[in-house]
């Protein structure tokens, strides 16, 4: 090869050939093309050095070109999101509720996907060389000797032989296709952390038993039922000759697991806006947050189900129990990781005076929360699940130690990250329907899947609600059950799980089906929520800090914001002894150790660990806390229950004007906040603050934690 002295110009930053600026995006595969262009343009003979310089130039130019294309594809997404934001604003401004922002993001994504698919020429930027044949195995790195120069290649992955001729792809389509792990490692964590950090604590804990039942039992039931139904569908497809590739029972169960992660983001947004029933909100939100975690771990455990011997897809009890063990191991490990990082953050923020420097505090909070994810991944657990429990712990303990400014900052930071990540995922979904290259549309499978998820959801909600109602005092009414049934949308988590592995034919079919399920549930259910709410007579416009009616008869009485003086006792009876035990433990020991609130440890711990107790108790507690009386333990227990109920009951029982004033000013200040902030503010710690101050008869300043 003798390339001549063409007049290629180095423009812009000189990038070295070694540097491929392609983080976050797939590696550009078009370097080779440029080299060929140079080769074609070669004319007369020139010095060898000149030729190498030209080649270097060309490689550099190609790297630059690739970087430019990366920028353009990211820019496409940013413009998509900008467009979505502006349209959302228009919708909110006009109070349009039939389409949620996520649905909108999908539509815009779809449109851009169509344009990219059919509007851009299908260039083939793929150069292949099949001349290298190795005998034994694949190396991670190849050094290739090209006419005396060495080039380094890295292994990208295996390609199934059938696909080799179909890799002629559109460059732009390839560019907008992200590495699936981006979803798991970059986009999901902020979404899940925000969910944990903004859990409506009071209502969440009051319904904890039911939420856990729906999330764990319900998801398992749903996964099993969907898996079995789909196995039937697959059998049917094989019978009618629609399926020739492998599709095992474990694949069906895997599909059941990934599609069981509900994500009622659109429903909850409408609930939030209309101030729909808080208990229903807590049930739906809590279930969806936890069942994301369950679905991740469940799908990993199903993949890990690997029977011994040659017949790798028959049932094997040992393998089954190993899978169950793996489920429990990953789940408890991730839970522990999350909780431990949360506790460490709480301790650090308590025992340093970081709150004088909100910037440092916020940075520390962010880093510690992120480290949970990495720690869990490094230990082989699931980062996303760890992040969820870290978020809950941070909200429960650390939040109380933060300065007022940092509370705002952390909430807002994660709110923005969550918003961007969520809308990004949904617009990517829209795009993926047209730009993803390996779709497998199978009508039978898709119809079967729709039926299966409907039946799976029904088999999960109604029987479980029936059993839960046997134990619950506040029954979950039929209208609530129907609403929960209706709200079983699938969203970001199902998509992320499905796109994570699209190597086999079965997985590609699952991915396509999941995508369609997400589309239809988000659009149809999202649009139908408001009519459904009124059709099912679910009350809206509820003050979220008000207690629900003890039973349906007293509904009228309570609508006038009247205090419910019997709330405390009821909840005490209602909540199981296990939770009361936990609350008493949390309130007496954990909160005083980890935060500045709660009773002093010197009072709650036995006398022989007095020194330790003095060290651990923060001075603020003594400043804030009345000396406790004889009936200490009883009193604390009542207070613990108040955390469950946190009622206006206390105010009414006291009847003192002081407490009323405090509550009014609090209400007043809260009302002026914007609604998005209000939701968070209302439940993160604010409730606790008030409880601790009200429980101790309002002799302490309200801002005692500041």
Name residues contacting its own copies, limited to 42-61 (CB under 8 A). 47, 50, 53, 55-56, 59
Q: How far is the CB of 158 from its own copies (least distance, A)?
A: 5
Please state the closest distance from residue 447 (CB atom) to its own copies, in A.
27
What's the token pair of residue 294? 């369950």
Nearest-angstrom CA–CA distance, 100 and 529:
10
Site stretch for its own copies (CB under 8 A), options 188-196, 199-207, 256-264, 409-417 = 409-417
Residues 168 to 227: which contact its own copies by CB under 8 A?
179-182, 184-186
Residues 473-502 that bind its own copies (CB under 8 A): 500-502
Q: Is the dihedral of CA 618, 624, 630, 631 positive or negative?
A: negative
Give the DSSP H/E element, type plus range, for residue 144: strand 141-146
Closest CA to 127 of 237, 32, 223, 261: 32
Taking the complex as a whole, how short is the minimal distance between the CB of residue 121 and its own copies, in angstroms? 19
Among 124, 127, 328, 441, binds its own copies (CB under 8 A): 127
Site track 639-658 with its own copies (rule: CB under 8 A), x = hit: --------------------
Rounded distance between C-alpha atoms, residue 220 and residue 205, angstroms: 22
For the segment 668-687, give every residue that binds its own copies (CB under 8 A).
Answer: 674, 676-677
Among residues 48, 78, 447, 615, the one that binds its own copies under rule CB under 8 A = 78
Binds its own copies by CB under 8 A, chosen from 12, 45, 562, 701: 12
Q: How far is the CB of 19 from its own copies (least distance, A)?
A: 6
Is 254 within 8 Å of 523 (Cβ atoms)?
Answer: no
Cβ nearer to its own copies, comparing 24 with 609? 24
Binding its own copies (rule: CB under 8 A), the pick from 115, 236, 347, 413 is: 413
Instruction: Give me 293's structure tokens.
Output: 């975690």
Size of the site for its own copies (CB under 8 A): 144
Told to check if 23 binds its own copies by CB under 8 A, we report yes
Q: Which of 169, 228, 242, 412 is in the footprint of its own copies by CB under 8 A? A: 412
Q: Shortest distance, CB of residue 24 to its own copies, whole angstroms? A: 5
**Measured CA angle at 186 (ends 301, 350), to 5 deg:** 95
Our CB check for its own copies shows the closer of 73 and 487 to be: 73
Query: Looking at 6, 29, 216, 438, which residue binds its own copies (CB under 8 A)?
Result: 29
The rounded distance, in Å, linking the Cα atoms of 513 and 502 is: 12
Closest alpha carbon to 599 in 641, 567, 577, 629: 629
Whole-number Å distance between alpha carbons of 176 and 80: 13
Q: Note whether 126 binds its own copies by CB under 8 A.
A: yes
Closest separation in Å from C-beta 233 to its own copies:
23
Helix (H, G, I), strand (E, B) or coil at 143: strand
Nearest residue (CB) to its own copies, 86 versus 578:
86
124 binds its own copies (CB under 8 A): no
Of the candidate residues 382, 508, 570, 624, the single one contacting its own copies (CB under 8 A): 382
Q: Which of residues 335-354 bind its own copies (CB under 8 A)?
A: 348, 352-354
573 binds its own copies (CB under 8 A): no
| Residue numbers 131-160 binding its own copies by CB under 8 A | 131-160
Applying CB under 8 A, the span of 197-205, 306-314, 389-397, 574-582 interacting with its own copies comes to 306-314
Rounded to 5°, the CA angle 251-255-256 comes to 115
Whole-number Å distance between alpha carbons of 105 and 433:
13
- How far lies 331's CA from each of 252, 290, 318, 678, in Å? 22, 11, 20, 32
Q: Quick one: which of 575, 562, 553, 544 has its CA closest to 473?
A: 575
**Applying CB under 8 A, which part among 78-86, 189-197, 546-554, 644-652 lies near its own copies?**
78-86
- How far apart (Å, rounded) are the C-alpha atoms in residues 501 and 52? 41
Q: Which of 232, 380, 463, 531 binds its own copies (CB under 8 A)?
A: 380
Dist CA 466 CA 463 (whole Å): 5
The answer to the question of residue 248 lying near its own copies (CB under 8 A) is: no
Which residues are within 8 A (CB) of 48 and not within 5 positions of it... i.e. 6 or more apart? Answer: none
**Binding test (CB under 8 A) with its own copies, winner from 48, 79, 581, 612:** 79
Interactions with its own copies, residue window 285-304 (CB under 8 A): 296, 299-300, 303-304
Instruction: Classify residue 134 as left (phi > 0), alpha (psi -120 to 50) or beta.
Output: beta
* CA count, 13 A, side-chain hemisphere, 11: 5
CB nearer its own copies, residue 205 or residue 305: 305
Please state the closest distance from residue 435 (CB atom) to its own copies, in A. 18
Contact yes or no for 103/266 (Cβ under 8 A): yes
Give the max Cα distance, the chain.
102
Nearer to its own copies, 206 or 411 (CB): 411
Q: Which is nearer to its own copies, 55 or 683 (CB)?
A: 55
Tell me the closest approach of the beta carbon of residue 502 to its own copies, in angstroms: 8
The yes or no reply on residue 316 touching its own copies (CB under 8 A) is no
Q: Tell me which residues in 414-473 interact with its own copies (CB under 8 A).
A: 415-416, 419-420
Residue whose CB is less far from its own copies, 24 or 96: 24
Contact 526, 266 (CB under 8 A): yes
CB atoms within 10 A of CB 464: 19
Compare residues 515 and 680 and give the one whose CB is closer to its own copies: 680
Q: How far is the CB of 322 from its own copies (least distance, A)?
A: 8
For residue 472, give Cα distances in angstroms to 160, 458, 485, 551, 576.
54, 20, 19, 12, 10
Burial class (CB in 10 A: 0-12, 13-18, 19+), 257: buried
Task: Select from 37, 41, 328, 503 the one that contacts its own copies (CB under 8 A).
Answer: 503
Interface pick for its own copies out of 37, 43, 45, 92 (rule CB under 8 A): 92
**Which positions ≥6 away from 693 have C-beta within 8 Å?**
662, 700, 701, 702, 704
Scan residues 358-377 and list those touching its own copies (CB under 8 A): 358-360, 362-364, 366-368, 370-371, 374-375, 377
> How far apart, in whole angstroms, are the C-alpha atoms of residue 335 and residue 290?
11
Among residues 357, 454, 462, 635, the one that binds its own copies under rule CB under 8 A:
357
Nearer to its own copies, 308 or 612 (CB): 308
DSSP letter (8 states) at residue 626: P
Task: Considering only residues 607 through 626, tell me which ones interact with its own copies, judged by CB under 8 A.
Answer: none
127 close to 36: Cβ distance less than 8 angstroms: yes
Which C-beta is closer to its own copies: that of 253 or that of 601?
253
The reply on whether position 36 binds its own copies by CB under 8 A is yes
């Amino acid at each position: 090869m003798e390339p001549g002295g063409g007049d290629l110009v180095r423009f812009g930053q000189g990038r070295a050939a070694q540097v491929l600026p392609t983080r976050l995006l797939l590696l550009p595969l078009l370097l080779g093309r440029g080299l060929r262009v140079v080769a074609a343009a070669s004319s007369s003979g020139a010095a060898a050095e000149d030729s190498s310089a030209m080649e270097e130039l060309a490689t550099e130019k190609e790297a630059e070109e690739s970087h430019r294309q990366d920028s353009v594809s990211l820019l496409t997404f940013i413009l998509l999101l900008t467009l979505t934001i502006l349209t959302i604003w228009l919708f909110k401004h006009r109070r349009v509720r039939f389409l949620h922002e996520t649905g909108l993001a999908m539509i815009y994504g779809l449109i851009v996907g169509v344009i990219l698919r059919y509007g851009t020429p299908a260039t083939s930027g793929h150069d292949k060389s099949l001349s290298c044949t190795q005998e034994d195995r694949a190396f991670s790195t190849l050094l290739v000797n090209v006419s005396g120069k060495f080039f380094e290649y890295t292994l990208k992955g295996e390609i199934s032989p059938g696909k080799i001729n179909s890799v002629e792809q559109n460059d732009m389509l390839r560019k907008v296709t992200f590495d699936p792990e981006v979803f798991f490692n970059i986009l999901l964590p902020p979404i899940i952390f925000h969910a944990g950090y903004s859990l409506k604590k009071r209502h969440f804990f009051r319904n904890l038993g039911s939420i856990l039942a729906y999330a764990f039992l319900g998801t398992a039931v749903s996964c099993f039922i969907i898996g079995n139904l789909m196995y039937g569908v697959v059998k049917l497809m094989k019978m009618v000759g629609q399926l020739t590739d492998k599709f095992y029972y474990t694949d069906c169960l895997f599909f059941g697991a990934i599609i069981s992660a509900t994500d009622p983001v659109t429903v909850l947004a409408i609930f939030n806006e209309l101030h729909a029933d808080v208990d229903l909100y807590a049930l739906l939100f809590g279930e969806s947050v936890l069942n994301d975690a369950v679905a991740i771990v469940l799908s990993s455990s199903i993949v890990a189900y690997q029977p011994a011997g040659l017949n790798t897809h028959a049932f094997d009890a040992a393998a089954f129990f190993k899978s169950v063990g793996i489920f429990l191991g990953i789940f408890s490990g991730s839970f522990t990781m999350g909780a431990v990082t949360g506790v460490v953050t709480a301790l650090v923020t308590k025992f340093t005076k970081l709150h004088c420097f909100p910037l440092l505090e916020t940075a520390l909070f962010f880093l510690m929360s992120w480290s949970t994810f990495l720690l869990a991944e490094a230990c082989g657990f699931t980062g996303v699940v760890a992040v969820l429990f870290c978020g809950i712990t941070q909200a429960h303990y650390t939040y109380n130690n933060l300065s007022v400014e940092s509370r705002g900052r952390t909430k807002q930071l994660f709110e923005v990250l969550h918003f961007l990540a969520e809308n990004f995922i949904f617009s990517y979904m829209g795009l993926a329907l047209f730009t993803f290259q390996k779709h497998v549309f199978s009508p039978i499978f898709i119809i079967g899947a729709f039926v299966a998820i409907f039946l799976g959801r029904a088999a999960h909600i109604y029987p479980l609600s029936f059993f839960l109602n046997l134990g619950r005092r506040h029954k979950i009414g039929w209208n609530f059950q129907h609403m929960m049934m209706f709200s079983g949308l699938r969203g970001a988590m199902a998509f992320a799980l499905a796109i994570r592995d699209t190597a086999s034919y079965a997985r590609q079919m699952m991915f396509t089906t999941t995508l369609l399920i997400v589309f239809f549930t988000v659009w149809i259910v999202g649009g139908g929520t408001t009519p459904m709410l009124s059709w099912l007579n679910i009350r809206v416009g509820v003050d979220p800090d008000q207690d629900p009616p003890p039973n349906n008869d007293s509904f009228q009485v309570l609508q006038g914001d009247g205090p419910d003086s019997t709330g405390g006792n009821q909840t005490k009876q209602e909540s199981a002894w296990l939770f009361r035990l936990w609350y008493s433990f949390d309130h007496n020991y954990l909160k005083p150790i980890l935060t500045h609130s709660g009773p002093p440890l010197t009072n709650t711990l036995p006398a022989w660990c007095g020194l330790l107790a003095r060290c651990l108790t923060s001075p603020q507690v003594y400043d804030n806390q009345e000396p406790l009386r004889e009936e200490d333990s009883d009193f604390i227990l009542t207070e613990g229950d108040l955390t469950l109920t946190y009622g206006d009951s206390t105010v009414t029982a006291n009847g003192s004007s002081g407490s009323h004033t405090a509550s009014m000013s609090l209400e007043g200040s809260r009302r002026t906040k914007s609604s998005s902030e209000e939701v968070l503010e209302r439940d993160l710690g604010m409730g606790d603050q008030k409880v601790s101050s009200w429980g101790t008869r309002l002799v302490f300043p309200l801002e005692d934690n500041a």
